[in-house]
Amino acid sequence: MQILIAPDSFGDTLSAVAAAEAIARGWSATRPTDVVRKAPQSDGGPGFVDVLASRFGSIRTAEVPGPLGASVSATWLFDDRGPDPSAYIECAQACGLHQLGGRPTPRTALEADTTGVGLLVAEALAAGARRIVVGLGGSATNDGGRGLIDALGGPGEAAERLDGIELVVASDVENPLLGDLGAVAVFGPQKGADPTTVARLEERMTRWSRVLAGMAGRDVSDDPGAGAAGGLGAALLALGGTRVSGATVVSEATGRDTDVASSQLVITGEGRFDTQTLRGKVVAALTASAAAAGVPTLVFAGQVALPPEEIAAAGIAAAYAIVDVAGSVEVAMTDAANQLSRLAEQVAADWAGDGESAGVRGA
């Protein structure tokens, strides 16, 4: 059988690349004659660069300020295969929550900024990129992209430097910049903001939105995706960026639909398989592509929180939970790669290719 293994990351536990390797290892241990291809996926968040780098381009590294100013080593991807070189930047490399050095707090929620992302954009421009794709997700910031704008020389100079550059905002987040569904109200608490801090940040973001409107010649705060990465989406939109689903960017850049169509089984996965998964996340997009090609899909996840009828209605043959093999959430997280391989071994042993298997099924 031709097997396509195309998972998203498993939260902070496994990158998409590591998850694909673990699944492939387990599946091949049981079914060594199957032809296994690994095609890790991303929606633009953490792991975006690694996923693309597994297929093409060259990795570049730059020392830039992290979310609180301390220097971090950030990687980005340069692709010079065509007449218009492209750069792929992952904002979490420069301003990710994981770079705070500890738990987020009201102070970090106020102080974290996107300066490092702006300097990565400057690196891409200096390398000759004519198309710059910025993957959003996993940020510690709530600065509306002000750090990025300042790092590029301020509103006027930033717009001038990006004039004529195709700027792509890769994000599956559709939230606006302001209000109850905006960057601060929805994502601020996840980044350490208490109610008082949320109010302060919303006031600051409202003032900054006027600057962005002046840059763009229109109000971008209500645009879908403006609230992504603490409002970094709004800054990129104000600079002339176009929002595209991060999953779509990865799909088109890696030829995912072609890979799916030439397979007999697709295996995907993520950390938690629940109702949010079915609302435009990587797993849902991949399943739709597989269904259109008439290829069955299996989902492996840390935990499965959907009943079998919803799984079937989504066009998925079956979903399996690592925790059922590991015996506990703790083991599933601390020994994730090995437990995911074990799960793949068990499912592979039972898979008959008819859309049914008797392995460990999450519910």
pLDDT in tens, 105-149: 999 999 999 999 999 999 999 999 999 999 999 999 999 999 999
Identify the pLDDT of residue 352.
64
Residue given tokens 């300020």 in the structure block: 65
Going along the chain from its start, the domains and CATH numbers come out as 2-40+255-350 (3.40.50.10350), 48-244 (3.90.1510.10)
Supply the pLDDT for residue 28.
Answer: 97
* 101-110, 211-220, 257-266, 281-290, range with the lowest pLDDT: 281-290
Mean pLDDT of 290-313: 92
The pLDDT, as a whole number, for residue 280 is 62
Residues 27 and 320 sit within 8 Å (Cβ to Cβ): no
Q: Assess whether pLDDT exceeds 70 at residue 362.
A: no
Question: What span, in angstroms and rounded, lies between the C-alpha atoms of 204 and 216?
Answer: 19
Q: What is the pLDDT of residue 276?
A: 74
Please, which residues bridge with residue 35 across strands? 2
DSSP tag of 183: I
Residue that has been written with the tokens 């391989």 in this structure: 341
- Which pLDDT belongs to residue 359? 40
286, 300 contact by CB (below 8 A)? no
Rounded to 5 degrees, φ, ψ at 249 are -55, -50
Tokens representing 163? 């004039």
Confirm if 116 and 75 have CB atoms less than 8 A apart.
Answer: no
Amino acid code (one letter) for 268 = T
Instruction: Please tell me the predicted confidence (pLDDT) of residue 11.
Output: 83
pLDDT value at 273 more than 90: no
Q: What is the pLDDT of residues 282-297, one digit of tens each?
A: 888 888 899 999 999 9
Residues 62-84, mean pLDDT to the nearest whole number: 95
Instruction: Return the biggest CA–CA distance within the chain.
Output: 62
- What is the distance between the alpha carbons of residues 344 and 299, in angstroms, rounded to a whole number? 10
Q: Reply yes or no on whether the pLDDT at 356 is more than 60.
A: no
Residue among 200, 76, 65, 190 at smallest CA distance from 139: 190
For residue 324 the two structure tokens come to: 């059922």
Q: What is the pLDDT at residue 360?
A: 42
For the chain, what percent of residues have pLDDT higher than 90? 80
Q: Give this prediction's pTM.
A: 0.87
356, 40, 294, 301: CA torsion to nearest 10? 30
* Mean predicted lDDT score pLDDT of the chain: 93
> Residue range 62-73: average pLDDT?
98
